[in-house]
Amino acid sequence: MTVITHTAFSTTFRIETIFAAVVGFCADFCAGARQGREIEARYHALSQRSTPDLARLGLTRADVARAALTGRPR
């Protein structure tokens, strides 16, 4: 009886550990996808601005990708 109980506990523990790892991976993946969408939205907003408007923000056209990625002008 002890061996069966120990095996059942061990199997349950492994399943819970695997499940926690899968859930953690999915959460990290979703967070990364969300962050990517935020970067894309910032890039789109900055790329639609005029050159003088970008200059007021302290940016040039060449700076748009970096500013979108970092979330700040410089």
Q: What is the pLDDT of residue 13?
A: 77
DSSP characters over 8-59: HHHHHHHHHHHHHHHHHHHHHHHHHHHHHHHHHHHHHHHHTS-HHHHHHTT-
Domain extent listing, the chain: 2-70
pLDDT digits (tens, 9 = 90+) for 21-53: 999 999 999 999 999 999 999 999 999 999 999
Q: How many Cβ atoms are within 10 Å of 71's Cβ, its own excluded?
A: 10
Reply yes or no on whether the pLDDT at 6 is more than 70: no
Q: What is the pLDDT of residue 10?
A: 64
Reply yes or no on whether the pLDDT at 1 is more than 50: no
pLDDT digits (tens, 9 = 90+) for 45-71: 999 999 999 999 999 999 999 999 998
Mean pLDDT taken over the chain: 86
